[in-house]
Amino acid sequence: MADDAIRCDACPVLCYIKPGRTGSCDRYGNQAGKLVRLDPHVVLDRALERGQPVVPFLERSNDWDGSLMSHGETFVTAIGAGTTYPDYKPAPFIISSQVEGVDMVTVVTEGIFSYCGVKVKIDTDRHLGPECSAIRSEGEAIGHVTTSEYGSQMLSLGGVRHLTGGSRHEGSATCDALLNLCNGNAVELKIDNGAKVTVQAGKPPVVDGAQEERMRVGCGSATIGMFAKQWFGKVDEVVVVDDHITGVLSEHQAGKLLGVPETGIKLKGRRSTPGRYFQVAEPGTSWGGTNIEDPLSILGKFNAKKAWPGLRLLMVSTTGEHYAYFELAEDLKPHEAELPANLRESVARIKENCEPALCTVLFMGGAGGSLRAGVTENPVKLTHSVRGSLTRVTCGGAPVYVWPGGGITFMVDVARMPRNAFGYVPTPALVAPIEFTLKLADYGALGGYVESVRPLSSIAATEDGRKRVNAMPDNPWPLESAEVSKKK
């Protein structure tokens, strides 16, 4: 180029980059006329994890004896490895190693994912918004509320429709939120007809400005089942208030087996089975994830034939955060009284059994597309190899779950990956590291680029810009394949 700009061909944007400048995604730059991947290339080392002396990565490479295989204690991740585009070129790094006498190869690339998103699990019983409600970031819809799970609200964010199917701003707001969540940063989300939630992987959620402390112990029915014995004899009736299943001790099977007498209590809502009520109130952020501030509002009149003056009633939420104690007056109306000391312990026990509330962020991407062509000339063979467990897929060295069925659709917990492992390109799409590790013999059999296989030491000796990171001790070592484990 006349102005010394060089062309980056690592993604479809094909930026022209002037000397000293970076391309649109800030991943590549022009350094003295050379196209350079700007973030350090991350290499995992498990020497520390195993209590072995740490040898600086580059020093180790000086000891290279020219053999093709390295010792298997270092794993080249795809973080900062770069991308090849178009995909039919071999992946940027195809690295050999020897693990327990087995020749292995790891194919490493930063995949560009238009088909990707994150699944967010938020441990809270507070109602964040109706199912299917749009979730917004920077005012743009970037996902929706999906079916809640036990003690947690679930969000589905991103996906190809939000990335590519709407306006340019919707696509970039989606990409930006996904990138921040995957890189471990906090993102503020607004749910239509619902709450404002701050989400950060591995941190407690913040719902409408209040940090969530604990997730619920279980639904109302489960709570009755768990604690019925501790209430028996100390109180005549217990109602555990819950958005989904509210439990009533005297009607519940747990109360029946203990011999708790009928109390003539009447609950609003729909009776599912004895002692289990649905829809006692609207969802909300108060008692047990409902909208009620006054627990008595979910009770009807006590049946005068069964109830008696002085009847002791405990109402408690599924986290123990809300509780109130009542006694029936002569007119059988409940009057609030101080919680007796012998019931305090059971309320504290509910709290004690609630786990800390956290946000979990799983990146989900489809690697069954064109990036396979950087691994093999016959892409479907890679899919079959992954399906047959001959090829291990990792994401920045972290284990992934590959969905059954077609394609290579995987999920990874971003908290198990090195921080800032993700990037983006302005198409817009997310850039995620992906590594395929398999036996060298299997790699040849699936039509891999065997001529491009090179030892770890060869890249270490000739290129700089690498960063050694200690492997996470809780992650399985990516070079220890099932085959190798079997051989041990």
Nearest residue (CB) to ligand SF4, 22 versus 98 = 22
Euclidean distance between CA atoms 127 and 195, whole angstroms: 8
Please, what is the minimum distance in Å from the beta carbon of residue 368 to ligand SF4? Answer: 22
Euclidean distance between CA atoms 427 and 302, whole angstroms: 64
Euclidean distance between CA atoms 455 and 205, whole angstroms: 44
Give the contact letters, 421-460, x = binds to ligand SF4 (CB under 6 A), - = no.
----xx----------------------------------
Please, what is the minimum distance in Å from the beta carbon of residue 160 to ligand SF4? Answer: 19
Residue 74 makes CB contacts below 8 A (sequence gap 6+) with: 43, 44, 45, 57, 60, 97, 456, 468
Q: Applying CB under 6 A, what is the total number of residues that bind ligand SF4?
A: 13
Classify the phi-psi angles of 214: left when phi > 0, otherwise alpha if psi is within -120 to 50, otherwise beta: beta
Nearest residue (CB) to ligand SF4, 16 versus 88 = 16
Please, what is the minimum distance in Å from the beta carbon of residue 83 to ligand SF4? Answer: 7
Residues β-bridged to residue 466: 41
Nearest residue (CB) to ligand SF4, 23 versus 143 = 23
Please, what is the minimum distance in Å from the beta carbon of residue 430 to ligand SF4? Answer: 12
Nearest residue (CB) to ligand SF4, 25 versus 197 = 25
Cβ(251)–Cβ(275) under 8 Å? yes
Please, what is the minimum distance in Å from the beta carbon of residue 84 to ligand SF4? Answer: 11
Coil vs helix vs strand at 87: coil
| CA-closest candidate to residue 423, choices 37, 141, 88 | 37
Please, what is the minimum distance in Å from the beta carbon of residue 15 to ligand SF4? Answer: 3
Which of 2, 5, 8, 64 touches ligand SF4 (CB under 6 A)? 8
Please, what is the minimum distance in Å from the beta carbon of residue 75 to ligand SF4? Answer: 24
**Among all residues, whose Cβ is closest to ligand SF4?**
23
C-alpha distances (whole Å) from 441 to each of 253, 341, 391, 445, 449 are 60, 70, 12, 6, 12
Q: Where are the alpha helices (DSSP H) in 185-301?
A: 220-231, 253-258
Using the rule CB under 6 A, give the single segment among 19-27, 133-141, 216-224, 242-250 that binds ligand SF4.
19-27
Which of 1, 5, 6, 11 touches ligand SF4 (CB under 6 A)? 11
What order of strands is seen across the sheet that includes strand 210-211?
210-211, 206-207, 196-199, 187-191, 134-137, 140-149, 152-158, 116-123, 359-366, 409-413, 401-402
Give the contact letters, 23-42, x = binds to ligand SF4 (CB under 6 A), - = no.
xxx-xx--------------
Nearest residue (CB) to ligand SF4, 7 versus 71 = 7
Which of 2, 5, 10, 284 touches ligand SF4 (CB under 6 A)? 10
Nearest residue (CB) to ligand SF4, 38 versus 296 = 38
- The token duo for 17 is 């980059």
Nearest residue (CB) to ligand SF4, 284 versus 369 = 369
| CA-closest candidate to residue 471, choices 80, 44, 99, 72 | 44
Coil vs helix vs strand at 416: helix
Angle (CA) 249-255-256 rounded to 5° is 130
Which of 15, 179, 182, 469 touches ligand SF4 (CB under 6 A)? 15
- The token duo for 402 is 């590959």
* Lookup result for tokens 């817009």: 428
Nearest residue (CB) to ligand SF4, 174 versus 383 = 174
Give the contact letters, 106-145, x = binds to ligand SF4 (CB under 6 A), - = no.
----------------------------------------
Binding site for ligand SF4 (CB under 6 A): 8, 10-11, 13-15, 23-25, 27-28, 425-426
